[in-house]
Amino acid sequence: MDTITFSDFQRVEMRVGTILEVREFPNARHPAWQLRIDFGPEIGEKRSSAQITRLYAETDLVGRQVIAVVNFPVKQIANFFSEVLVLGLDQPDAGIVLLQTERPVENGLRVS
């Protein structure tokens, strides 16, 4: 395991957002959803590709708050540009479980 400094951690901007829209992503190499997420007035809406189809249906996701890294560079995945990285815990035999807040909070709040 690599050690990082606290200042390294502070550079990773993790924010809370609410999923507004979920679309199928047939061009993805691995099954994934295309998400549109609202991160509040400071950051706005961002898009992400998330490989969370094993545990989450489209209807499970709209309105759900998630935590994402919002300051990575944009990444092209097939014909889609993913602007944020939605965070989750990878269970090798079961799928990815989303990281979420314990209760609803304001969109855009930063993990600290």
Q: Tens digits of per-residue pLDDT, 70-111? A: 999 999 999 999 999 999 999 999 999 999 999 999 999 999
DSSP H helices in 1-112: 6-11, 40-43, 58-61
Q: DSSP code of 64? A: -
Given a contact cutoff of 8 angstroms between Cβ atoms, the answer to whether 66 and 87 are in contact is yes
The answer to the question of residue 1 being in a domain is no
- The label of the residue with tokens 């965070």 reads 87
**Residue 107, domain member (yes or no):** no
Residue 47 belongs to a domain with what CATH number?
2.40.50.140
For residue 93, how many other CB atoms are within 10 A of its CB?
5
Number of domains composing the chain: 1
Domain that holds residue 43: 6-98
Residue 111 lies in a domain: no
* Confidence tier at 13 by pLDDT (50, 70, 90): very high
> Does any domain span residue 104?
no
Q: Residue 48: which of 1, 67, 97, 100 has the closest Cα?
A: 67
- Quote the pTM value: 0.94
